[in-house]
């Protein structure tokens, strides 16, 4: 099979099997990419993941681009990425159409009333998990608090906070380096 098509097909398969994204993808990538095809080593996969976490964008897309790029250059990266987003496009479009068609039913509205409460808890849990990794000292706690309150009470764009926080990180680390 054409290598570009194979990249597309393998990553479409990975997209279907990934539930929730991020780390849920890792065991599937290990089996499909490392064990079955030898497209990357275990270490390379871990590197891609680590970089995916500290670069902007969706981790699944980052990893797909990395592996596709390694196999077949930039175009390979693009084909792998299109593969990984393809199942979402199909499944969500079908589902969104169905939900739109039935959303006026009382029973569906009640169901989503309950589901939205669950979403509150899921976001809270996600924040708690991120908090443990991100807030490691007083300066990071200050950044967390300022962004939390600033974003909630002001109309400022998240982009503004992201850019300022990156600058703050560099300034704080530099000051630390000078004192030491």
Partner 1 sequence: MIYLKLFYEFFKTGLFAVGGGMATIPFLYRLSDNTGWFTHQDLANMIAVGESTPGPIGVNMATYVGFVTGTQVNGLPGALLGALSATLGLAAPAVIIILIVAALLKSFRENKYVNAAFYGLRPASTGLIGAAGLSVVMSNLFPGDVIALAAVNWKGVVLAAVLWLLTNKVKKTKSLHPIVFIGLSALVGVVFSMG
3-state secondary structure 69-126: HHHHHHHHHHHHHHHHHHHHHHHHHHHHHHHHHHCCCHHHHHHHHHHHHHHHHHHHHH
Structure token digits, residue 105: 């039913």
Q: What is the dihedral of CA 115, 119, 121, 123, to 10 degrees?
A: 170
Residues 32-51 that bind partner 1 (CB under 8 A): 47, 50-51
Candidate segments 2-10, 34-42, 135-143, binder of partner 1 by CB under 8 A: 135-143
Between 6 and 76, whose beta carbon lies closer to partner 1? 76
Could you say which of 69, 72, 83, 102 contacts partner 1 (CB under 8 A)? 69
Could you say which of 62, 71, 72, 83 contacts partner 1 (CB under 8 A)? 62
DSSP designation for 36: T
Work out whether 2 is an interface residue with partner 1 (CB under 8 A).
no
CB of 53 to partner 1, least distance (A): 7
CB of 180 to partner 1, least distance (A): 13
Structure token digits, residue 176: 């630390």
Work out whether 92 is an interface residue with partner 1 (CB under 8 A).
yes
Candidate segments 2-10, 34-42, 151-159, binder of partner 1 by CB under 8 A: 151-159
């Amino acid at each position: 099979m054409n290598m570009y098509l194979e990249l597309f097909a393998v990553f479409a398969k990975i997209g279907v099997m990934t539930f929730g994204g991020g780390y849920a993808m890792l065991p599937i990538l290990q089996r499909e990419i490392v064990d079955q095809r030898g497209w990357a080593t275990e270490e390379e996969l871990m590197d891609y993941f680590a970089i995916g976490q500290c670069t902007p964008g969706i981790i699944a897309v980052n990893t797909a681009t990395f592996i596709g790029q390694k196999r077949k250059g930039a175009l390979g990266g693009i084909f792998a990425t299109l593969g990984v987003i393809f199942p979402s496009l199909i499944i969500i479009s079908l589902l969104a159409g169905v939900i739109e068609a039935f959303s006026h039913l009382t029973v569906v509205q009640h169901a989503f009333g309950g589901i939205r409460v669950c979403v509150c808890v899921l976001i809270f849990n996600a924040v708690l998990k991120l908090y443990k990794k991100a807030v490691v000292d007083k300066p990071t706690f200050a950044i967390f608090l300022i962004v939390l309150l600033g974003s909630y009470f002001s109309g400022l764009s998240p982009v503004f906070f992201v850019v300022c926080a990156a600058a703050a990180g560099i300034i704080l680390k530099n000051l630390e380096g000078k004192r030491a």
